Amino acid sequence: MAKKVTKKKTATKKKATTRKRTTVKKAAKTVVAAPMTPTVTDAQIRIRAFEIFRAGQNPSNPDADWHQAEQELRT
């Protein structure tokens, strides 16, 4: 009679290699808002330029009146 040959099962376990997850904390972003500048309309500049004209600060130079009024109102 023939002998039954049984294969011996060998259990090979793979070692689980677990890596420790590291979390990197991101620095909080700081948002710096630009300083609020007052909104100056053309109508406001026009009125101030007319006042400068009436005062005679820049005789016969409407562009200089406009520029001066714009500088005064925006600063």
> What confidence tens digit (pLDDT) does each residue in 6-63 have?
666 666 666 666 777 777 777 777 777 666 666 899 999 999 999 999 998 778 899 9
Chain centroid offset of residue 60 CA: 46
> Which residue has better confidence, 67 or 28?
67
Q: For residues 15 and 29, give the distance between their C-alpha atoms in angstroms, rounded to a whole number.
A: 42
pLDDT at 12: 64
* CA–CA dist 33, 29 (Å, integer): 12
Distance between CA 59 and CA 52 in Å, rounded? 9
pTM above 0.75, yes or no: no
pLDDT at 60: 81
Please report how many Cα atoms fall inside a 13 Å half-sphere around the Cα of residue 70, on the Cβ side: 7
